[in-house]
Structure 1
Amino acid sequence: MKGLPILDLAIIVIYLMGMILVGVYFSRKNKSSEQFTKAAGLIPGWAIGMSIYATFLSSNTFIGVPGKAFGGNWNAFVFSISMPLAAWIAAKYFVPFYRNTGEISAYTHLENRFGSWARAYAVVCFLLTQLARMGSIFFGIALSLQALTGYSMQMIMIVMGICIIIYTVMGGIEAVIWTEVVQAVVITLGALLILYLIISNMDGGIAKVVAIGAKDEKFSLGSLTPNLTISSFWVVLLYGFFINLNNFGMDQNYVQRYHTASSNKAASKSIWLCVWLYIPASLLFFIIGSCLYAYYEVNPDLVLAVKHQVAVERLPSGASTAEILKLQNSLGPADYGDKIMPHFMVTKIPIGVVGLIISAVLSAAMSTISSGMNSSATVFSVDIYKRYIKPDVTERQNLSLLHIATIAFGLLGMIAGIAMIGVKSILDVWWELSGIFAAGMLGLFLLGIISRQTKNHEAITATIVGIVVIIWMTFSYLLPPAYETFRNPLHKNMIIVVGTLTIFLTGLLITKMKKLKG
């Protein structure tokens, strides 16, 4: 078992204790459910923007993005390019809408438009999305720290989960936001430090990175042909636009932050601050991935340890040396991309700096997980417990419920992370799951906002049709070869695009037909 030096352990412990102390500090203010979920609407816009930025910069970004760039190219960066248009729509329409309604839940409006079923459906989709997000992030942080410490991934998730639960339960949304402000700075500085260490350890420096990257097409944004069956430029652009529209318009993580701002203008500015921070930051992580690719191309012997580790993990216990070597030799960069960043951290980062880097990785994970826990607890309290179980819940009972729900969702996120151990790519898993769960609720939300004439019956029919399409696109690959014709021909990232448009356009069509008949 690899043990971290005392200095690095001390830095990590100090960081974790600092996060818990933030929760203790803000716990003095958390005497009501409104303070726990809205922070009394007194958070400045710049802090909210930093908080949203930190939520985007999860460990999926810290580990998954360099892994994708290492194993492929910059195709996934197109996701970031799609953000400004989604942000413009959110700032212009969604922020004023939510703040004018005064509802802390993003899903209350759906019940007002279509009935309780619409609200319940969106809540289920949201909670499943949050569990997938938290699980993938728990897995990402464990993947890194296992390589650095030698501890089991399960143990790492449990220890991290307990720390996050403590400061999130004690501090509420205000602690979440202010810790995310700190975490946003730590994450960014950590990434810049890693980039410096890669280049300084590489013969030829930046010029060598550019030469190798250009030769192997590592800087490509993907095919520009209108091909929707592969991860082309257009597929990722469409996916990014729809998922970011869902993030800014339907995700409780973001909607809840709009209510913490002092004004509509401050809330809108927070969205744009997030966008202008995230685009260059995500580019930084793609650059890191390309630099790592060049570094290991120049030092091919170093990658053998990574390939050996992956081969051992994929084969059953007791596999022979010959079997391990055979699989090891067959692995390509895409098969072990997520392992590259942790390996570099283990072998090339000096004592003392390792603790700072781990703190940055922890920041990336903790910011998103704490946000997901708080928003999930809020949704459970408002949209499930108070709506269906106990509408007359007292203020004291509601605050206790929020605490218990926060703990429960933190534990469920840990379980989801443990279940993901062994997946090939963190980023791929997260993108696929988020696209599946988000498609339905985004389509329904757009139908309710844009088509004021659409009523309950049309919305139910459109949603059922959309769910059928989403299920078919997700699982049709399981059909036997004899039914290959009926498999989904589109890339999996198109699920959110087709699913959203199916619900929205079907609802419009049925509404139009009913109007013509009437």
Structure 2
Amino acid sequence: MGAVDYGNITLIPQGTAYGLLIGLAVLFCAVILIAVKLQKVYLEEDSGKSEMFMVANRTVGTGLTASAVFSSWMWINETVNSALNCYRFGLSAPMWYGSALCFQIALMAVMGVLSKIRVPYAHTSLEIVRMRYGHIGHIAFICLNLIQNIFGCSSMILTGSQLIHGISGMHFAAATILVPLGVVVLYTAVGGLKATFLTDFFHTAIALVLILWFTFGVLVHEQIGGLYGLYDKVMALEDRVSGNYAGSLLTIKSKGGIMFGLDLAFGNLALVVMDTAFWQKSFATEVKATVPGYNLAALCIFGVPWALGTVIGLSCRVIHTLPVFPTYPNPFTQDQVLTGFVMPYTIKALLGSGGVVGFFLLMFMALTSTVSSSMIAVSSILSFDVYKTYINPKANDKRVVSISHLAVCFHGVFIAGFSLALNYGGANMNWINYFVPMLTCPGIMPLIFTLTWSRQTRLAAVVAPLLGMGSGIAVWLGATYSMYGVLNMDTTQEQAPAIYGAITALFSPALYSVLISFYKPYVFDWRNFLRIELADEQPISPPSSSPNETESEQETSESDKKQPTASTTPTTDLDNVSSPFDAETLRHLHRWYRIAWITFISILLLTWVLWPLPLYRNWIFNKPFFAGWVTVAIIWQFVAFAGVVVFPLYDGRHAITKGFRGLRGSIQSALRK
């Protein structure tokens, strides 16, 4: 089975698509190469060193952190899927989409600042696992993390290639190969993590400008007629949605909408917690930047699916039977909807070919940002957690960076081939979204316990995810067969079985871990994490787990009263290890840790309980309430632009000024010669 035939509908010429894809790749390669050169010469930031390549020397500020996290979480699936599910279930779906994205990033703020407290020199989440559980646990979580990155990255490429194929006629195999093997491989291999931070900022700025254009352009089009016009036209539709109150698209009481939100909340959590890229971004931040950077991104991300998805999804419902729609006079098929053509077809109908070019640019921004982030994560796993740990423990800094470059290129080739296999297998965006959680969610709770619960044993950490994965798949397939009587591509992407499977895969490992940990219990001493050193220091071996170990918070030890550098001498004497932070810095970190928990709980309660549940009743939005709803959503987009585009420029003004002055001085010196 190959890619779906969309009836030879093309929105832009194939040559234009090739030109855009290759031209944008060359442009961003040039931009990143210049940025790498400037930061090396004028800011003394050398991506040829592993600390810089993997964790950006741990110097990234709040603004750039927020922009990078926002960009990494603004997947092409997010923009396309929010419109798709608004079309299917009504305006509740984009709201639930935003709610799920917010709390997931807020949770990562909690884990990020806790990792700074307990594992200040970590480079990857897997390094933390190795220090606690040794090689067996390390290898198990390497597999879990690679599964997450491979399926997460391939789902982006799958979605992008099918959209490119559908809107331009470019063969999906060509699109699948060009995306990861073009700009992403080159600028990631050369620039490292700081390079992705810088390009994430440019991606975010361009993407938000395009999103604002799409939102306003569609809303004010004569076929839509503004806020009131859109409301009147949706109310006049004869379309009825099964499971919605009165079948209306303008109600929060939607069975399909809330089930979509629950599946997204539970299933997509692995895309943050199990993605080493999000951990690396937190390791790369300054001490004071982790919590505000991640939480700023968490708040800003809400506006993307909420406003864009609502306007595009409802507008598509209004025009999908009109002559202006690309499929007219043929119907807009279920396959086309589930593959993600709600957004590009609506943009073509209302904004013309220029809008489609803008959509293509948005796809490029989202794809290169998320895929490059995945490549840095995988390269760090292969170079640091595999090569330096098991193949060449004595590898120097230069060698590790070289392996990282090779790993990026290898991952680009591999992920292109894997995405092609999914394409030829007939997978679409919807099926991937429902399938992946069964494989990626089982490691979440054991990984969180690794940093938060000192009594989780090595056996529990290794076995619990495997049992959880088996349980999730069994529940998913069993529920599907029980409800629909057959297992195939269509039935296995139904909502209810996927939710049951995702919830089982997420939470059952916590139960398994607690039960297994009762067998030969022990208490882990958190000070062992302080034995992890900088990448260019002499490697050390993980500690042996002893039932006699006792828990000890490093902030209560006498060593916290000083600020040493990393030791280059391996030691097993925990009394001789100390945090690199002084007592004052540790107090600030613990204060940020409390703030992170308060923010996470507040966001969770606000976006899942206090705001939406009172609206989950037998009520259809009236015109003023609908107008206010969409207006606030659009305002949120502007707030996002200020938070992750304008603020990073202000926050990084000193580095920008320093780089500009250095460049100006070099130009003036050259002109005088």
Q: How high is the TM-score relative to the length of structure 1?
A: 0.82
Report the counterpart of residue 440 of structure 2 in structure 1: 438
Q: Post-superposition shift, 1:75? A: 2.8
In structure 2, do the counterparts of structure 1 residues 483 and 185 end up closer, same or farther at CA, with 3 Å as the change threshold? closer
1:138 equivalenced with 2:162 (yes/no):
no
Report the counterpart of residue 258 of structure 2 in structure 1: 233
Q: Post-superposition shift, 1:464? A: 4.0
- Structure 1 residue corresponding to 2:142, chosen from 109, 123, 132: 123
Report the counterpart of residue 414 of structure 1 in structure 2: 416
- Structure 2 residue corresponding to 1:190, chosen from 203, 207, 210: 210
Report the counterpart of residue 362 of structure 1 in structure 2: 364
Letter of the 1:153 counterpart? F
Report the counterpart of residue 173 of structure 1 in structure 2: 193
Secondary structure of the equivalent of 1:129? helix
- Structure 2 residue corresponding to 1:402, chosen from 386, 398, 404: 404
Deviates more, 1:212-221 or 1:246-255: 212-221
Q: Post-superposition shift, 1:10? A: 7.4
Contact 1:68 1:289 in 2 (8 A): no
Contact 1:106 1:255 in 2 (8 A): yes
Q: Deviations over 1:53-84 (max 9, x none)?
A: 11111211232221222233333642421444
Q: Post-superposition shift, 1:106? A: 0.7
- Structure 2 residue corresponding to 1:252, chosen from 276, 280, 283: 276
Q: Deviations over 1:9-56 (max 9, x none)?
A: 877766433311132124443211221111212222211111111111
**How far apart, in 2, do the equivalents of 1:465 and 1:410 lie?**
31
Deviates more, 1:470-479 or 1:189-198: 470-479
Report the counterpart of residue 23 of structure 1 in structure 2: 32
- Structure 1 residue corresponding to 2:511, chosen from 499, 505, 510: 505
Q: Post-superposition shift, 1:241? A: 5.4
Q: Deviations over 1:148-197 (max 9, x none)?
A: 43321221232232222112112111111111111112112112222233
Q: Equivalences for 1:180-329 in 2 at 5 Å?
A: 180-199=200-219, 200-213=221-234, 216=240, 217-221=248-252, 223=254, 231=256, 233=258, 236-237=261-262, 239-240=264-265, 243-244=268-269, 246-263=270-287, 265-297=288-320, 299-303=321-325, 305=327
**How far apart, in 1, do the equivalents of 2:85 and 2:352 lie?**
25
Q: Give percent identity, aligned residues only.
A: 13
Q: Post-superposition shift, 1:139? A: 2.4
Q: Post-superposition shift, 1:483? A: 9.3
Contact 1:129 1:437 in 2 (8 A): yes
In structure 2, do the counterparts of structure 1 residues 445 and 222 end up closer, same or farther at CA, with 3 Å as the change threshold? farther
Gaps of 5+ in 1: 225-230, 309-327
Contact 1:292 1:340 in 2 (8 A): no
Q: Post-superposition shift, 1:493? A: 2.8
- How many residues are matched? 486
Q: Post-superposition shift, 1:242? A: 6.6
Q: Post-superposition shift, 1:232? A: 6.0
**How far apart, in 1, do the equivalents of 2:507 and 2:340 lie?**
33
Q: Post-superposition shift, 1:368? A: 0.5
In structure 2, do the counterparts of structure 1 residues 147 and 462 end up closer, same or farther at CA, with 3 Å as the change threshold? closer
Q: Post-superposition shift, 1:398? A: 1.2
Contact 2:266 2:502 in 1 (8 A): no
Hey, which of these two has a bigger chunk of helix by percent? 1
Q: How high is the TM-score relative to the length of structure 2?
A: 0.64
**How far apart, in 1, do the equivalents of 2:502 and 2:444 lie?**
9
If you compute each CA radius of gyration, which structure gives the higher value, 1 or 2? 2
**How far apart, in 2, do the equivalents of 1:303 and 1:88 lie?**
39
Gaps of 5+ in 2: 1-9, 38-45, 241-247, 522-546, 548-673
**How far apart, in 2, do the equivalents of 1:454 and 1:134 lie?**
30
Secondary structure of the equivalent of 2:341? helix
**How far apart, in 1, do the equivalents of 2:328 and 2:425 lie?**
16
Q: Post-superposition shift, 1:396? A: 2.2
Contact 1:377 1:405 in 2 (8 A): yes
Q: Post-superposition shift, 1:7? A: 9.2
Q: Post-superposition shift, 1:276? A: 1.3
Q: Deviations over 1:67-120 (max 9, x none)?
A: 222233333642421444444443344423246411111122223333322222
**How far apart, in 2, do the equivalents of 1:279 and 1:78 lie?**
10
**How far apart, in 1, do the equivalents of 2:151 and 2:19 lie?**
31
Q: Equivalences for 1:94-109 in 2 at 5 Å?
A: 94-98=112-116, 100-101=118-119, 102-109=121-128
Letter of the 2:343 counterpart? M
Secondary structure of the equivalent of 2:393? coil
Report the counterpart of residue 610 of structure 2 in structure 1: none
In structure 2, do the counterparts of structure 1 residues 99 and 24 end up closer, same or farther at CA, with 3 Å as the change threshold? farther
In structure 2, do the counterparts of structure 1 residues 495 and 30 end up closer, same or farther at CA, with 3 Å as the change threshold? same
In structure 2, do the counterparts of structure 1 residues 7 and 457 end up closer, same or farther at CA, with 3 Å as the change threshold? closer
Deviates more, 1:275-284 or 1:385-394: 385-394
Q: Post-superposition shift, 1:424? A: 8.3
Letter of the 1:260 counterpart? A
